[in-house]
């Protein structure tokens, strides 16, 4: 149970960081705060599912050929297991706990926003920074 408390504290910490980021003057902090809030929500939901059984947060497991020894160790799960995707969280949460998200459409839209920032916008910001940094170093 102590591990779940630590996970929840980590989640609250991530959410707090997301709120604090909004107060810093930087053009990308808003996007980063969305990523932090999404991460916090994902960890919080997975922690609740894991309270039922830790393996319920996985969608794929290590193959028996990749396991050293007779049983699956936590390292095997970290290395070769895959946890469930954001889009599968509401269904898994409901099936394992009976908890239904009050607004699944909002959850799905927030996931799309997070994916857009994570996979597209952040790369553009990094690319712009690299171009600016390279141009400054060439002077």
pLDDT in tens, 102-112: 999 999 988 98
> In total, how many domains does the chain have?
1
* Per-residue pLDDT tens digits for 33-84: 888 899 999 999 999 999 999 889 998 887 777 777 777 777 777 777 889 9
The total number of residues shown for the chain amounts to: 139
Q: Pick from 56, 58, 65: which is nearest to 81 by CA?
A: 58
Q: Where are the alpha helices (DSSP H) in 67-103?
A: 74-80, 89-97
Mean pLDDT for all residues in the chain: 77
The residue range of the domain holding 33 is 2-137
């Amino acid at each position: 149970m102590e591990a779940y408390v630590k996970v929840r504290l980590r989640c609250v910490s991530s959410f707090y960081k997301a709120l604090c980021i909004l107060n810093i003057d930087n053009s990308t902090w808003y996007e980063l705060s969305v990523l932090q809030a999404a991460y916090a929500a994902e960890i919080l939901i997975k922690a609740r599912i894991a309270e039922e059984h830790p393996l319920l947060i996985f969608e794929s497991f290590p193959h028996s050929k990749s396991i050293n020894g007779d049983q699956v160790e936590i390292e095997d799960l970290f290395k070769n297991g895959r946890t469930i995707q954001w889009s599968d969280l509401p269904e898994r949460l409901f099936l394992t706990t009976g908890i239904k998200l009050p607004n699944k459409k909002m959850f799905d839209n927030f996931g799309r926003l997070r994916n857009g920032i994570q996979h597209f916008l952040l790369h553009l910001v990094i690319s712009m920074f690299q171009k600016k940094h390279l141009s400054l170093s060439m002077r």
